[in-house]
Structure formats: structure tokens, C-alpha cells
């Protein structure tokens, strides 16, 4: 954990150290709020989500295992899972309108940032081996919380076709990352 | 439909789709139940979380509103409100006090200057559990450790409370295995440290709900 201050703060939070919990909030809340906001696209709901995420972090910090994930990866997983659960629990009609706002564009902006780190470079390279529309769908789903329904509507393919596209894409991605 | 991806085992595919986030709500709930009960599936999910983690760089930081931390802390650590909200823990302590409250104040390991450390042993009548507490006013650190008795049963946690004289109990969090160190601004004479048995993670309401096990009143030095 030497190079992972967030992991150290989670470990201290697990010992019910409130000062560490506050420090963890200051270190991670902007990233987690940005994550929830991008998925939920509603400030009030993203605030509620972040409140719920930090409550879970306080209660579950002892389950964090620094040998399995970096601290920020663990926190973002909690935030994404919670935000996506909220999104999927919404009435079906509410989701239909704003799906296109998070479909990734083809401009290189985000990719340029991603390329800054070697770990990120590997996954970017592997994304390049996928068919562009499938890579785009995977990114859009991960970052914006798009469902199979959203994706099949946007790409105008049947839902099951979209699902097998994405499964194949994910498998190819895994093979590439493990090569 | 015979491309290689179709041969991804179903569990692996479900783990990947859960992390990707594309599943409908009912299937997400099923995946979450599997994560909770199936270590093998949980490991698949953790693998995909790490694999896709580089994409997290694309989430931009957006500072949340200033008061959000206060809202979170108010929910997790509710402050005592009115005397009558002290609840049953006081009654339980009054009964316990007659038989089994033990407290020590020992000027342990005298620092060159400053107030002495406070050592208290939390015990209870007929209770195998013993919790040692040590408070160092110089560093404001309270260290608590189980020195005898069993660990909390599965699904439960020992929760530590401070009860300032005449006030409602305030949760100091759950006591894990080994020594727990927490920050405490002050541990004045006349206050009580107590341990209750609560659901895992501690009482969800901020007020003690489980049975009082052991306690100690802090005496004058």
C-alpha cells in the first residue's frame, strides 16, 4: 500500500478512524461525484448516491483487500454499482430520453488522457483491436451506465444481437489484455 | 453465431456484464446476490473491475457541494439530542453499575510532561468478554483491544460507545480484531465507555440496539 494513500485511508477507516474517513472523503469525493453524475445525469440524485456510497464505505471498509484492488478502483466500483443500480431501478420511460448524451464521440480527447498511463495504454491498444462500433458501445456502457436496451436502440440492432456483440467484445478484450 | 466470444462461460460473461453495467435491474440483483454468497463469482467480478479500471480515468472530478460531508457525518455519527433520547443504555448501565463496573485510572508510562494516560478495563457481570482501553491525552488516541472472551459471532460486531456524564451515548464505531486506534478529543472523568453487541457494521440507527456487554466508568486521576 506504500504508493496507494487512498488504500491506507480505507484501512484506517476500517478501524473506525473518523479523521481518516474525513481525509478519504476529501481525497475521493470529487472523483466519485463525477462518476455518479456522469451515470445519473442529475445533480441531486448524484449527491444522494455519493452520500450512500460513503455510508457503505464506512460500514464495509473492513472488506477492502488492498492485495486485490487499488483503493480508488474499489471506491469507484462501489460508486458505479450503486449509481447503475439506481439508474436501472428508475421507471423504464424515464431513461429513454437522455441516453444519447453519453454515447462516446469519436474525438480523441478522452483517449489522449487515457494514453498518459501505461496500464491505460494497454487497454486502449486492446480497444483498438475491436470493431470500432463495439469498442464504442463497451466504453459508453461502462462510463455512462448505458443498458443493453439503450445500446440496441442507438445502434439499431436487436437487443440479443447487441448482447452477443458485447460479450464477444469483452472476451476479445480479455484475451488481448492477457496476451 | 459461432464467433469465439460466444464460448465465454456464462458465469464469466455475467461477471463481465455486471461490471460493464448493461444488465437489466433484475439480472443485476441476481448478480449481486451471487457476489455476496459465491467467492468464485466474486473473484471473477474483481478481475473485470481491475481489467476495466483504466477507463475510470475518463471520469472527470466534480467537487460535490460543500455541505455534503456534513450530511454524511450527521447520518453516520448522529449527535446526542435531548436527555430523554438517552434510551435504554442508561438503564442497563445503572443495573450493571451495582455489580460489576470496574474502572482504573493509572498514570501509566509518564510522559515528560502533560496529562497521564488513562487505562480502563471494560468488564460486565458474568461476561467472559474483557476489553482494554487506553487513552493518551497527548495524542488524543484511544486504543481498545479485546483481551479476553470470544470475538463477536458471525454477522455481529462489538460496538464501542462513549457516554459523557449525563449525556446520550455516542458511537465510536465497531471494535475489530486486534487493537483499534481512534481519535477522541477528550475522555473526561465521569464518562463511561461501553460495548454493545450490534449487527455487523454497527447499529444502523446510531443508537445502541443490541445488549450491553461490558462497560467502565472513567474515574478521577
Has residue B112 been placed in a domain?
yes
- Residue at which a domain ends, from A30, A65, A90: A90
Residue B79 forms contact with A (CB below 8 Å): no
Q: What is the pLDDT of residue B214?
A: 85
- Identify the pLDDT of residue A90: 80
My answer on whether A76 and A24 are in the same domain is: yes
Give pLDDT, residue A108: 42
For residue B43, the enclosing domain spans 4-58
Q: What is the pLDDT of residues B17-50, one digit of tens each?
A: 999 999 998 899 889 889 988 999 999 999 999 9
Question: B163 in a domain, yes or no?
Answer: yes
Q: Give yes or no for A78 touching B (CB within 8 A).
A: no
Q: Collect all residues of chain B within an 8 Å Cβ-Cβ radius of residue A16.
A: 160, 172-176, 180, 182
B100 and B194 belong to one structural domain: yes
Query: Cβ A167–B17 below 8 Å, yes or no?
Result: yes
Contacts A–B by Cβ distance under 8 A: 185
Residue of B20, B35, B45, B59 lying closest to A162 (CA atoms): B20
Is residue B210 in a domain?
A: yes
Chain-chain contact of B20 with A38 (C-beta, under 8 angstroms): no
In a domain, B162, yes or no: yes
Q: Are residues A53 and A121 in the same domain?
A: no
Tell me, yes or no, if A69 comes closer than 8 A to chain B by beta carbon.
yes
Mean pLDDT over each residue of chain A, to the nearest integer = 85
**Residue B25 is nearest to which of A18, A89, A122, comparing CB atoms?**
A89
Find, among B54, B26, B9, the residue nearest to A147 by Cα: B26
**Residues of chain B predicted below pLDDT 50:** 1-6, 81-86, 97-111, 221
| C-beta separation of A7 from A71 below 8 A | yes
pLDDT at B190: 79
Give residues 86 to 105 of B whose Cβ lies within 8 Å of A: none
Nearest to A34 among B51, B60, B172 (CB): B60
Same domain, yes or no: A71 and A149: no
Check whether A114 has a pLDDT greater than 60. no
Residues from chain A that touch B1, judged by Cβ atoms under 8 A, are 164
- Looking at residue B114, its pLDDT comes to 61
CB-based contacts of B157, cutoff 8 Å, min separation 6: B174, B175, B197, B198, B199, B200, B201, B202
Is the separation of the CB atoms in A39 and A84 below 8 Å?
yes
Question: Which chain A residue has the Cα nearest residue B5?
Answer: A168
In this structure, the answer to whether residues B52 and B86 fall within a common structural domain is no
A72 and A148 belong to one structural domain: no
Q: Are residues A147 and A171 in the same domain?
A: yes
In this structure, are B45 and B129 located in the same domain? no
Whether residues A33 and B62 touch (CB distance < 8 A) is answered with yes
- Contacts of A91-99 with CB under 8 Å at 24 or more apart are A95/A147, A95/A149, A95/A150, A96/A153, A98/A41, A99/A146, A99/A150, A99/A153, A99/A154
For residue A23, what are the domain limits?
1-90
Nearest CA in chain A to B157: A59
- Domain-embedded: residue B64: no
Do B90 and B53 share a domain, yes or no?
no
Euclidean distance between CA atoms A84 and A81, whole angstroms = 5
Which of B23, B58, B159 is the mutation pick for testing A, counting most A CBs within 10 A? B58
Question: Is residue B8 less than 8 Å (CB to CB) from chain A?
Answer: yes
User: Within this chain, do residues A84 and A147 fall inside the same structural domain, yes or no?
Assistant: no
A9 with A77, same domain? Answer: yes
Number of domains making up chain B: 2
Say if residue B39 is in the same domain as residue B118.
no
Are B90 and B193 members of one domain?
yes
Q: Do residue A111 and residue A73 come from a single domain?
A: no
**Residue B53 shares a structural domain with residue B92:** no
Which residues of B fall within a CB distance of 8 Å from A77? 19, 49
Q: Which of A90, A124, A145 is the last residue of a domain?
A: A90
Residue B67 lies in a domain: no
> What CATH code is carried by the domain that includes residue A176?
1.10.10.10
Asked if residue B87 and residue B54 are part of one domain, the reply reads no
B29 and B87 both lie in a single domain: no
The pLDDT assigned to B93 comes to 64
Chain A, residues 1-40, CB within 8 A of chain B, namely 14-19, 22, 25-26, 29-31, 33-35, 37-39
Which residue did the predictor score with more confidence, B8 or A174?
A174
What digits encode the pLDDT tens for the residues A69-81? 999 999 999 999 9
Q: How far apart are CA A136 and CA A140, in angstroms?
A: 6
**Domain harbouring A14, CATH code:** 1.10.1740.10
pLDDT band at residue A50 under the 50/70/90 scheme: very high
* Nearest CA-CA distance, residue B70 and chain A, Å: 10
In this structure, the answer to whether residues B119 and B172 fall within a common structural domain is yes
SS (H, E, C) B95-135: HHHHHHCCCCCCCECCCCCCCCEEEEEEECCCCCCEEEEEE
Total count of domains within chain A: 2
pLDDT at A110: 47
Q: Same structural domain for residues A3 and A84?
A: yes
Q: Are residues B54 and B161 in the same domain?
A: no
CA-to-CA distance for A50 and A114, rounded, in angstroms? 24
Q: Are residues B118 and B21 in the same domain?
A: no
> Does residue B65 fall inside a structural domain?
no
Query: Is the overall model pTM greater than 0.80, yes or no?
Result: no
**Torsion angles phi and psi, residue B145, rounded to 5:** -150, 140
Q: Is B23 close to A60, i.e. CB distance below 8 A?
A: no
Same domain, yes or no, for A3 and A85? yes
Structure confidence by residue, pLDDT tens digits, A150-166: 999 988 999 999 999 99
Amino acid at each position: 500500500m506504500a504508493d496507494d494513500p487512498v488504500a491506507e485511508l480505507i484501512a484506517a477507516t476500517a478501524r473506525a478512524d473518523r479523521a481518516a474517513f474525513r481525509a478519504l472523503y476529501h481525497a475521493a469525493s470529487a472523483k466519485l461525484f463525477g462518476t455518479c453524475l456522469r451515470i445519473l445525469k442529475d445533480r441531486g440524485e448524484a449527491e444522494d448516491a455519493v452520500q450512500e456510497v460513503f455510508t457503505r464505505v464506512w460500514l464495509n471498509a473492513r472488506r477492502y483487500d488492498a492485495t486485490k484492488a487499488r483503493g480508488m478502483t474499489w471506491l469507484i466500483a462501489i460508486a458505479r454499482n450503486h449509481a447503475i443500480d439506481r439508474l436501472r431501478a428508475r421507471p423504464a420511460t424515464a431513461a429513454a430520453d437522455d441516453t444519447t448524451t453519453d454515447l462516446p464521440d469519436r474525438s480523441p480527447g478522452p483517449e489522449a488522457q487515457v494514453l498518459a498511463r501505461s496500464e491505460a495504454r494497454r487497454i486502449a491498444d486492446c480497444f483498438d483491436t475491436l470493431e470500432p462500433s463495439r469498442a464504442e458501445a463497451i466504453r459508453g456502457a461502462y462510463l455512462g451506465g448505458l443498458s443493453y436496451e439503450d445500446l440496441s436502440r442507438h445502434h439499431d440492432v436487436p437487443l440479443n444481437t447487441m448482447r452477443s456483440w458485447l460479450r464477444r467484445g469483452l472476451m476479445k478484450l480479455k484475451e488481448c489484455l492477457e496476451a | 453465431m459461432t464467433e469465439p466470444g460466444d464460448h465465454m462461460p456464462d458465469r464469466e460473461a455475467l461477471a463481465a456484464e455486471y461490471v460493464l453495467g448493461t444488465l437489466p435491474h433484475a439480472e443485476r440483483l441476481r448478480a449481486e446476490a451471487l457476489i455476496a454468497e459465491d467467492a468464485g463469482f466474486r473473484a471473477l467480478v474483481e478481475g473485470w473491475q481491475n481489467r476495466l479500471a483504466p477507463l475510470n480515468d475518463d471520469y472527470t472530478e466534480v467537487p460535490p457541494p460543500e455541505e455534503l460531508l456534513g450530511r454524511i457525518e450527521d447520518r453516520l455519527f448522529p449527535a446526542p439530542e435531548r436527555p430523554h433520547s438517552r434510551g435504554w443504555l442508561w438503564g442497563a448501565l445503572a443495573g450493571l453499575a451495582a455489580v460489576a463496573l470496574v474502572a482504573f485510572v493509572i498514570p501509566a508510562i509518564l510522559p515528560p510532561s502533560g496529562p497521564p494516560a488513562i487505562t480502563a478495563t471494560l468488564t460486565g457481570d458474568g461476561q467472559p468478554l474483557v476489553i482494554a482501553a487506553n487513552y493518551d491525552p497527548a495524542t488524543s488516541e484511544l486504543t481498545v483491544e479485546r483481551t479476553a472472551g470470544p470475538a463477536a459471532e458471525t454477522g455481529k460486531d462489538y460496538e464501542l460507545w462513549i457516554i459523557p456524564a449525563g449525556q446520550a451515548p455516542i458511537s465510536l464505531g465497531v471494535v475489530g480484531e486486534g487493537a483499534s486506534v481512534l481519535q477522541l478529543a477528550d475522555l473526561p472523568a465521569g464518562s463511561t465507555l461501553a460495548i454493545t453487541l450490534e449487527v455487523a457494521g454497527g447499529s444502523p440507527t446510531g443508537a445502541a440496539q443490541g445488549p450491553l456487554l461490558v462497560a467502565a466508568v472513567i474515574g478521577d486521576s
